[in-house]
Amino acid sequence: MEEKLISQKKPFYPIIKELNDYLKHYNRWVYTPVCYEDLLRFSGSVVVYDENENDTLWIRVYYSDSERVEIDYNLKKVYALLHSDGNETSMPFLSIDAIDYCTFGNSKPFRVKVRNILNDNFTYFYIKKTDASRVYGLEFEHMLSPHNLNFLINDSTLIEEHIAGIPGDVFIEKYLNQCSPSEQAQIAKEYVKFNERSMIRLLGDMRAYNYVVIPTHDFDQVIYKIRAIDFDQQSFEGKFMVYRPQFFKENFPIISIVKEKLSPDSIVQYKIEERSILAKRILSSGNRLNCLLDIMTLDTLTKPENLKNLSSEIFKFTKDIAFKKSKNMGEVMKASFAYVRRNYENLNMANLINS
């Protein structure tokens, strides 16, 4: 089934003028001193292995001595732009410990490890090729998920902050079966909500390695949250199942936990909760979300056959004619958010009448 879910490689879509203006207005646009293409000029590389000597599908890249000095300096400037106001006073205390290149997937990002030499604290950021699909995905995540996102962009380069957590595939393999029954029930609940959130905002390809599980210690228990880390497949694919993580085989171990720990009524309850939270965020996001959706209706983000098939499948799922009438992915997204908002308002009205 999985091979048929995603059958084509997604192209990179350019930033149109209206989206450019939007990104500048919300301080996302920046002219970086180093771009994605610059980092491709590495002169050598070695494979990066994990602690068990398994290939991570990342390679550690190296540059000639003459280029390395300039690249290191410019990457420190990028870090300063991403995490502060671009002030260079902290740069003498920063070290670029590693630059890794991912050979797997569509976006082929660079991962930069930055360390503070005064205290050995370190973090990462990613440099990717600019893609409008990913920008819409990042903005929707910023406005509609429980988490804010920090990123910068220009015509050629996208810079994303690192999202900390345990990669979903690693969590499933190493930690899921070690969780207590109550923890597994909590993970099942979070996964139902994550699945619903991904579906509504049409974030595709949430296979296990495209999200992280975040454990947080809270008094005498550990709270688990699930967070997307890859936004490449925002509103591109034509199959509705691609936007529902439950259908990817890598996620089946968690789906089994959902079936074991949650009753059908509980699953419905958690779906309603997530839709209500999303509706509140849609309503509170105001002009920013409406502006982004209007721009999205002017953009080309998929192939005509994908749009036709997806709008038809969502119409069959929702019976909302707005999906069938959609002429572009922006209108599909507008219909999705309007559908969620309308159901939320109807639910509130029903509760008011019955109270």
Q: What is the reported pLDDT for 351?
A: 61
The type of residue at 47 is V
Q: What is the pLDDT of residues 260-313, one digit of tens each?
A: 999 999 999 999 999 999 999 999 998 999 999 999 999 999 999 999 999 999
Q: What is the pLDDT of residues 204-226, one digit of tens each?
A: 999 999 999 999 998 888 999 99
Q: What is the reported pLDDT for 345?
A: 87
The rounded distance, in Å, linking the Cα atoms of 190 and 238 is 26
Taking residue 325's Cβ as centre, other Cβ atoms within 10 Å add up to 12
- The sign of the dihedral angle between the CA atoms of 47, 51, 53, 55 is negative
Structure tokens that stand for 237 in this block: 């694919």
- C-alpha distances out from residue 58 to 103, 124, 214, 333, Å: 6, 14, 22, 34
Contact in structure between 15 and 153 (CB atoms under 8 Å):
yes
Q: What is the reported pLDDT for 7?
A: 62
Per-position b or e across 71-82, b if 16+ CB within 10 A of its CB: bbebbbbbbbbb
pTM of the model: 0.92
Per-position b or e across 178-192, b if 16+ CB within 10 A of its CB: ebeeebbbbbbbbbb
Q: What is the reported pLDDT for 218?
A: 87
Select from 111, 349, 317 the least CA-distant residue to 229. 111
Structure tokens that stand for 58 in this block: 């990342």
Q: What is the reported pLDDT for 3?
A: 47
The rounded distance, in Å, linking the Cα atoms of 172 and 253 is 7
pLDDT tens, the chain, 355 aa long: 444 677 678 999 999 999 999 999 999 999 989 999 999 999 999 999 988 888 888 999 999 998 999 999 999 999 999 988 778 888 999 999 999 999 887 789 999 999 999 999 999 999 999 999 999 999 999 999 988 899 999 999 999 999 999 999 999 999 999 999 999 999 999 999 999 999 999 999 999 999 999 999 988 889 999 999 999 999 999 999 999 999 999 999 999 999 999 999 999 999 999 999 999 999 999 899 999 999 999 999 999 999 999 999 999 999 999 999 999 999 999 999 999 999 888 876 556 565 5
Q: What is the reported pLDDT for 264?
A: 96
